[in-house]
Amino acid sequence: MQSNSNAAAAPATHALIHQTRRIPVSLGKASLRIRLEAYYSLIAPETLTNRSEWLGKFDQIYEKYGGTHQGERKLSSKLAKKYGTAVRLLLAKSAESQQSSRGKEAQDGLRNEEWYQVAEGQRDSGELNALSRNFDPIAMLRAPDDAVYAVNLWMNAGGMILDNVDKFASYLPLDDPQHREIRDAKTKLVATTKHSIGNVEKGGGKTKMVHPFDAIANVLDSGPISVLHRLRKKRTTVVVRYVNAIRGTLTGTLIAFDKHMNMILLDVEETYSPRPIDNDGEKSNLELELERRKQMGNRGTTNTADETGTGKLPAKGSAGNAGNTKTREMRQLLVRGDMVVSVYEAIS
């Protein structure tokens, strides 16, 4: 079970640790039965009063929900709706199931029912000492915190506190079915790097490292994005925009790009117009378009009233940027793909 009560979190965690040392969590029928019995002993003990009736009911439950992760999740949700979420059924996790197939718990399905039974010395012993051979986990779950800490003085000794049962798996004895080794993060990173696509090319008995920029470009040589592949390492002009207006142009050497049209340019020359803003801090789309045409020297600007259907120009007092075109140079620039309007080869 997984308790949501903060007050019982610490004792419940230690109880669950000792339970899982004797009851491996798997998709086996016996494992689900013993987990359900532990759940009902806390939520609805009357369900377990008649043993034969309970076993018959469990056979129906397992036939409908058992044997799969999806089925156990449905069963847990159904129980939570009926009895609440103060205590939840402990589920077999996918990672644990995969580990079982690698040999850690491969024998779980072959164990008989006796292997899952609680030892006679533990059943209803009322022993709260977690280090005792007669430790009663159910009694610890039901006991108040003061009684638990009074018997288990080592709980107050300090040290690392594990916030969930799953993290305790690496501290269990090596012969415990729930034991798991902690994989070295550095080893995992090296293995991932070695198997990453496009990082290495093998041929002629030699391993040649491929630059990430080349690896990305080599797989984007077809379709609409192929124009960037063709312009790579050439002087390229990129038209960029504001949210609702053209900003200007960037001219530089294209050295890298991706499928989202994010680009890296070297030796960049930018010609742009500052965003037009009036005294109120905003302009309509029509006024922004009129300003853009004036700034870019559009030939149709002289007849904008006829083209746009209105003779109104930006209101007086607006901070018009007509002729306020600026130029700057940058050594390197990252261009976001969502700001790109068009791309073409720069004219010498």
Whether residue 89 contacts residue 75, with contact meaning beta carbons closer than 8 Å, is answered with: yes
- 105 belongs to a structural domain: yes
Which residues, 6+ apart, have CB-to-CB distance to 188 below 8 Å?
Answer: none
* pLDDT score, position 112: 64
Q: Distance between CA 15 and CA 178 in Å, rounded?
A: 15
Same domain? For 164 and 246 the reply is no
- Quick one: tokens of 7? 């007050």
Same domain? For 129 and 15 the reply is yes
Strand-pairing partners, residue 250, are: 238, 270
Query: What letter would DSSP give residue 315?
Result: P
- 126 belongs to a structural domain: yes
Same domain? For 144 and 7 the reply is yes
Identify which of 290, 330, 326 has the alpha carbon closest to the alpha carbon of residue 306: 290
Same domain? For 157 and 232 the reply is no
Number of structural domains in the chain: 2
* pLDDT score, position 190: 56
Same domain? For 157 and 253 the reply is no
Same domain? For 35 and 152 the reply is yes
Please give the chain's pLDDT, 348 residues, in tens: 444 444 444 444 444 434 444 556 788 888 888 889 888 988 888 989 898 889 999 998 998 888 888 888 889 898 988 888 888 888 877 654 444 444 444 444 456 666 666 677 777 888 888 888 888 888 888 899 889 888 888 777 666 667 777 777 777 778 777 777 766 555 555 555 555 544 555 555 566 788 888 888 888 888 888 889 899 999 999 999 988 888 999 999 999 999 999 999 999 999 998 876 655 556 656 666 777 778 777 544 444 434 433 344 444 434 445 457 889 999 999 999 999 999 999 987
Same domain? For 26 and 112 the reply is yes
- 177 belongs to a structural domain: no
Cα–Cα distances (Å) from 239 to 170, 249, 320, 339, 345, in that order, read: 56, 4, 22, 9, 11
- 81 belongs to a structural domain: yes
Q: Distance between CA 47 and CA 320 in Å, rounded?
A: 80
- 191 belongs to a structural domain: no
Q: Distance between CA 14 and CA 141 in Å, rounded?
A: 9
- 335 belongs to a structural domain: yes
Q: Is 8 exposed, middle or buried (0-12, 13-18, 19+ CB in 10 A)?
A: buried
Report the 3 state secondary structure along 243-277: CCCEEEEEEEEEEEECCCCCEEEEEEEEEECCCCE
Same domain? For 142 and 282 the reply is no
Cα–Cα distances (Å) from 293 to 20, 246, 251, in that order, read: 74, 10, 21
In 3-state terms, what secondary structure has residue 35?
Answer: helix
What amino acid is encoded at 2 in this protein?
Q
User: The CATH number of the domain where 284 resides is what?
Assistant: 2.30.30.100
Same domain? For 149 and 291 the reply is no
Domain end residue (candidates: 131, 153, 171): 171
Q: Look-up: residue for tokens 């718990």?
A: 105
Q: Look-up: residue for tokens 């053209």?
A: 246
Cα–Cα distances (Å) from 252 to 163, 230, 235, 265, 340, in that order, read: 53, 15, 5, 5, 14
Same domain? For 154 and 280 the reply is no
Phi-psi region of 248 (alpha: psi -120 to 50; beta: other; left: phi over 0): left
* pLDDT score, position 262: 94
Q: Look-up: residue for tokens 């600026």?
A: 326
Domain end residue (candidates: 127, 147, 171): 171
* pLDDT score, position 267: 94
Q: Give me the domain span that covers residue 239.
A: 226-345
- 203 belongs to a structural domain: no
What amino acid is encoded at 196 in this protein?
S
* pLDDT score, position 348: 72
Sign of CA dihedral 7, 9, 14, 16: positive
- 185 belongs to a structural domain: no
Which residues, 6+ apart, have CB-to-CB distance to 218 below 8 Å?
Answer: 198
Cα–Cα distances (Å) from 187 to 7, 99, 180, 193, in that order, read: 39, 19, 16, 10
For helices 69-83 and 29-43, the axis angle rounded to 10 degrees is 10
Query: What letter would DSSP give residue 119?
Result: P
* pLDDT score, position 263: 94
**Integer distance in angstroms from the first to the last C-alpha of the chain?**
73
For helices 51-65 and 29-43, the axis angle rounded to 10 degrees is 120
Same domain? For 147 and 6 the reply is yes
Same domain? For 237 and 151 the reply is no
Domain end residue (candidates: 171, 198, 215): 171
